[in-house]
Chains A and B, each alone.
Chain A
Amino acid sequence: MQRGTAALLRCARFLGELQPRRISSLETARCFSGAAMQAQPSAPEGYDGTAELKRMNLFTAVNDALHIALDTDPNSYIFGEDVSFGGVFRCTTGLAERFGRHRVFNTPLCEQGIIGFGIGLAAMGSRAIAEIQFADYIFPAFDQIVNEAAKCRYRSGNQFDCGGLTIRTPYGAVGHGGHYHSQSPEAFFTHVPGLKVVVPRSPSKAKGLLLASIRDRNPTVFFEPKGLYRMAVEEVPIGDYETELGRAEVLREGSDVTVVGWGAQMLVLERACDAVEKEGVSCELIDLQTLLPWDVDTVAASVSKTGRLVISHEAPITSGFGAEIAAKIAERSFLKLEAPVARVCGLDTPFPLVFEPFYLPTESKVADAIMHTVSF
């Protein structure tokens, strides 16, 4: 009886979020409306506490990292569609002026060519930093990434590699992007041994993780949360630092349930954790940061403590990266689990133009999944 009422309440909350409304107000249903986000204050790795801090949004932090990357390695290059003009999200502003058009250059509109070119350039020992304008446009280059970049080292018996290749690409929902400006294709790439896949959640992480990706000796796909480019603002250390790849970060410690995500979804998860904490649920929130290779130990240790796991991502649920995490944790922490692993993800539909909030794993969907998991 009680349970029925609770379920009804939860439905009501959900439906309230989805009242049909004008497109212009759809965005208010998005997670990052309102004031600029203040990301977690934890100090970035490699940051010794003495460097000066500067307030930056996420695209400026990316821009800052790219300046440092080009400054510290004369054999590094940035290329992609319109990058020498600053790119559609302004991430490459000022780089061509500073480093010259022979190091920061526009390519024709040809994603497969861009990435193939980048692999060759990286095979010469250069750092090739390619931009794919939207993650939705990475698929023409999928073959080059999967069949060439990822296998280059393995099939040549380590004679060649394209470890200097980094592919930056903006991903995720923005409120009205529709089918081809919203997708989160990270899971396709986590299925490919030889690649690294990285997704930052905030300006300081974007800077540290991007510098680490550029310098890592493996081809890396770096997904930038485009919804946060302007929205997310925080104090970012000026100067050079790297955030270690392959390591998750525990954003808040808790005892009842482990909540795992990455990228822009972290903001939604934070709000969901705030909401359920008001109802007395203690959440341990983890940002995976790197999806390939992912930090199993940190997540497994957390689940051993809480006994419960909720995973959330924007990509469709089926074969999303959440499935891998769920399977691995079932294997590693089977005897510790007190509830089934829950996934709160995008629906198994193409990314819709209308009804975006129906599709998205919104704050209340996540909160409800957490409540259900802790009361299982």
Chain B
Amino acid sequence: MALRLVSARMGPFLRQRTLAAAAALAQQRGFAAAASDDEKLTVTVPVPFKTHKIDPPSQEVETSKAELLGFFTDMYKMRRMEIAADGLYKSKFIRGFCHLYDGQEAVCVGMEAALNYDDAIITAYRDHCTHLGRGGTVLEVMAELMGHRDGCSQGKGGSMHMYNKQHNFYGGNGIVGAQVPLGVGVAFGQKYNKLPNVTVAMYGDGAANQGQLFEALNIAALWNLPCLFTCENNHYGMGTAEWRSAKSPAYYARGDYVPGIKVDGMDALAVKQAFKFGKEYALQNGPLMLEMDTYRYHGHSMSDPGSTYRTRDEISGIRQERDPIERIRKLILSLELATAADLKAIEKESKREVDEAVDAAKSSPQPEEKLLYDHIHSGTPANFQIYGADRQHVTVKL
């Protein structure tokens, strides 16, 4: 219990490591004196919050050197991991359905900076980085992608089904929109048990058109449940641009009677501010909608080149002007919190970590065969049968 509290207070993932790494770097370079790691800094986020039926949070966001270096490290690692997954897919180590998150990293790290692991998260299938955000390792993700035993779901879930029970990650879900009502149920559990925590139910702009989202929203509002309905608006649902499928693409305002905030989802600090505000609000008042204006660089999944329904200019324009990692890099450099060389060193370290995880994931064995018929029910149903090649002789009766 004590341990758990500590870990909760530590907050976002790998903070410990990041801090240590940053401190070590700082010492090496001899700029530790400039700003201590935890000294408060205030940064004004450039894009104003747009709101629906609520006053916006302040654009002045408190942060620290440690936090900014943490953002940089974590987002860079996420990016490397997704690029590695892309390569592994092309070399057929990963098969089937695989949806990459690169471009959207700021949502993940900004959100985690305002939450702790006792808060719950549930999302859809674009979940690799969410798993890292919840404190998972690159190895757990990579091995899961390959269907190997060291995966976070023992290799049984694959790309779309990362889970971390200990840190209240209720997983990646394959059916578009289905996760949102589940999140409302989790939020009810939190409220009923008087926990000081919220649930983040994440969904895409495409999923925003599923009816069950509105059923869930009504329930959450009716019972004032601490649920943050978080729309990661990357502007496309597969090949469909938001305006083709939504009468109103103002997703933050589509809760009608539920207030909402539109956030620059490419700015980790803005995301953090919105979630910090959102958590406090939801604990006191009930649900809130948060729309994250973000972008995915890759296609929808590995079979989508991502360039038939949008222009290459659009993609490269966003990379140049709004990239979440470059934004933090610039901020760190302009505040002189680290040098370009320091950041390069962090990048190098991330690459090494990802490469090592990839190797380890490759050599991780396939799940044990008995896992095929395990975990279907609790306990073993009396009459459950698996038959082999010869139905009479190789029947496994459980």
Instruction: Name A's B-contacting residues (CB within 8 A).
Output: 7, 10-11, 13-15, 20, 22-24, 26-27, 81-82, 85, 88, 106-110, 112-113, 136-137, 139-140, 175-181, 342, 344, 347-350, 352-355, 358-359, 364-365, 368-369, 372
Closest partner residue, chain A, to B158 (CB atom): A353
B92 pairs with A23, CB closer than 8 A: yes
Q: What are the residues of chain A within 8 A of B158 when measuring CB–CB?
A: 178-179, 353
Query: What is the CA–CA distance of A110 and B203 in the complex, to the nearest angstrom?
Result: 14
Mask: chain B, 161-183; 1 = CB below 8 Å from A; 0 = not: 10000000000001111100000
Closest partner residue, chain A, to B153 (CB atom): A353
Q: What are the residues of chain A within 8 A of B308 when measuring CB–CB?
A: 85
Instruction: Name B's A-contacting residues (CB within 8 A).
Output: 92-97, 146-147, 155-158, 160-161, 174-178, 206-207, 209-212, 237-240, 244-246, 303, 308-309, 365-367, 369, 372-373, 376, 384-386, 388-394
- Partner pick for B390 among A10, A85, A109, CB 8 A cutoff: A10
The 9 closest A-B CB pairs, nearest first, are A14-B389, A24-B92, A176-B95, A108-B209, A180-B174, A176-B96, A108-B245, A7-B393, A354-B147
Contacts A/B (CB < 8 Å), 28 sampled: A7-B390, A7-B393, A10-B390, A11-B390, A13-B389, A20-B365, A20-B369, A23-B93, A23-B94, A23-B147, A27-B95, A81-B238, A85-B308, A106-B245, A108-B245, A109-B209, A109-B240, A109-B245, A178-B97, A347-B372, A349-B376, A353-B96, A354-B156, A354-B366, A354-B367, A355-B372, A368-B391, A372-B391
Closest partner residue, chain A, to B303 (CB atom): A88
Q: What are the residues of chain A within 8 A of B157 when measuring CB–CB?
A: 179, 353
Query: What is the CA–CA distance of A24 and B174 in the complex, to the nearest angstrom?
Result: 22
Q: What are the residues of chain B within 8 A of A88 when measuring CB–CB?
A: 238, 303
B369 pairs with A355, CB closer than 8 A: yes
Decide yes or no: A364 and B389 within 8 Å by CB, A353-B156, A353-B157 being known contacts. Answer: yes
A140 pairs with B212, CB closer than 8 A: yes
Q: What are the residues of chain B within 8 A of A354 when measuring CB–CB?
A: 147, 155-156, 366-367, 372
Closest partner residue, chain A, to B146 (CB atom): A23
Q: Beyond A348-B376, A348-B386, A353-B147: 14 further Cβ-contacts under 8 Å? A: A7-B393, A11-B390, A13-B389, A14-B394, A108-B246, A109-B176, A109-B206, A140-B177, A140-B212, A178-B160, A181-B96, A344-B391, A365-B389, A369-B391
A140 pairs with B210, CB closer than 8 A: yes
Shortest A252–chain B CB gap in Å is 23
- Partner pick for A26 among B95, B178, B207, B385, CB 8 A cutoff: B95
Q: What are the residues of chain B within 8 A of A22 when measuring CB–CB?
A: 92-93
Shortest A291–chain B CB gap in Å is 23
Closest partner residue, chain B, to A364 (CB atom): B389
Query: What is the CA–CA distance of A364 and B393 in the complex, to the nearest angstrom?
Result: 15
Q: What are the residues of chain A within 8 A of B373 when measuring CB–CB?
A: 347, 349
Closest partner residue, chain B, to A367 (CB atom): B389
Closest partner residue, chain B, to A373 (CB atom): B391
Shortest A86–chain B CB gap in Å is 9
Query: What is the CA–CA distance of A81 and B206 in the complex, to the nearest angstrom?
Result: 10
Query: What is the CA–CA distance of A344 and B392 in the complex, to the nearest angstrom?
Result: 12
Q: What are the residues of chain A within 8 A of B372 when measuring CB–CB?
A: 347, 349, 352, 354-355, 358-359
Closest partner residue, chain B, to A355 (CB atom): B372
Q: What are the residues of chain A within 8 A of B176 when measuring CB–CB?
A: 109, 137
